[in-house]
Amino acid sequence: MDLGVKGKKVLVTAASKGLGKACAKAYAEEGAQVFIASRNKAQLDRAANEIIEQTGNANVEAIVCDLTKSQDIENMMQSIGRVDILINNAGGPPAGKFNDFDDADWQHAFELLLMNIIRTVRAVTPAMREQQFGRIVNITSSSMKQALDGLLLSNTFRPAIVGLSKSLSQELASDQILINSVGPGTMETDRIRDIYKQQPSDESVEERLNKAGTNIPIGRIGQPEEFAKAILFLGSAANTYITGQTLIVDGGAMKTL
């Protein structure tokens, strides 16, 4: 299938590693012009070089941006100009229960998970409307559908992204701008390893990751590249009629309808 992303300008935020980087690589493999953003320049440059090396696509550019800062987002958008395909990703919020968080924690999670998307969508949609083409995909979490134990901030803001995206899908569809949200189940990235490391256990992280996989119908946890395939299709010209939807990529783990 021709995905129609060759030459398209794609921005993947929070893409120096993990799911964001895998998505950026998937677009680079398809010949897109890819911009990756995150806070740490050295890590970001390493990711860009790795993607260029692995895909043979030299059109991969790294842009330093802290997604919790409106000025950073504005600067990033100005330096990129028109964006055809926007993949919104961000770092995950810390784990914890209600009494663990103060106002600053709530504000930070709001800026990181929700406000970041509002700002990037605001920046990209004028040009998308003009050219009558745009694809936006939000990387969220399975918590957009079912609350996760000990992840209160995620459980609060991920469903808000779904509400925002559904409303936006209605406003943007007549200009051929499609927006969807994709939630990972358990994918093998630093984020998951860090969460496992924080949990006291006699078993190694590796052992526990393998064990976690046995509770998933597919029989293992997922790889970032498997997640990226879903993003790539939804955020491509080949997707012509899916908008305002949520998709969970979790090997069949969740039982909600």
11, 23, 62, 67: which one binds ligand NAD (CB under 6 A): 67
- 156 is a contact residue toward ligand NAD (CB under 6 A): no
User: Which window, 53-61, 66-74, 167-175, 231-239, contacts ligand NAD (CB under 6 A)?
Assistant: 66-74
> What are the beta bridge partners of residue 86?
11, 136
77, 83, 90, 228: which one binds ligand NAD (CB under 6 A): 90
Cα separations in angstroms, 121 against 79, 125, 233: 16, 6, 19
Closest listed residue to residue 165, CA positions, set 146, 191, 183: 183
Closest to ligand NAD by CB, 141 or 243: 141
CB 43, min distance to ligand NAD, A: 7
SS3 227: helix
Helix (H) or strand (E) holding 181: strand 177-184
CB 232, min distance to ligand NAD, A: 15
Give the footprint of ligand NAD on residues 91-110 (CB under 6 A): 91-92
Q: In angstroms, rounded to a whole number, what is the distance separating the alpha carbons of residues 156 and 94? A: 12
- 117 is a contact residue toward ligand NAD (CB under 6 A): no
Helix (H) or strand (E) holding 122: helix 116-131
CB 70, min distance to ligand NAD, A: 12
Closest to ligand NAD by CB, 129 or 191: 191
189, 236, 243, 246: which one binds ligand NAD (CB under 6 A): 189
- 17 is a contact residue toward ligand NAD (CB under 6 A): yes
- 45 is a contact residue toward ligand NAD (CB under 6 A): no
Cα-based angle 246, 115, 17 (whole degrees, multiple of 5): 70
- DSSP E strands in 108-174: the ranges are 134-139
Closest listed residue to residue 122, CA positions, set 63, 178, 77, 79: 77
Q: Which residues bind ligand NAD (CB under 6 A)?
A: 14-20, 38-39, 65-68, 89-92, 112, 139, 141, 184, 186-187, 189-192
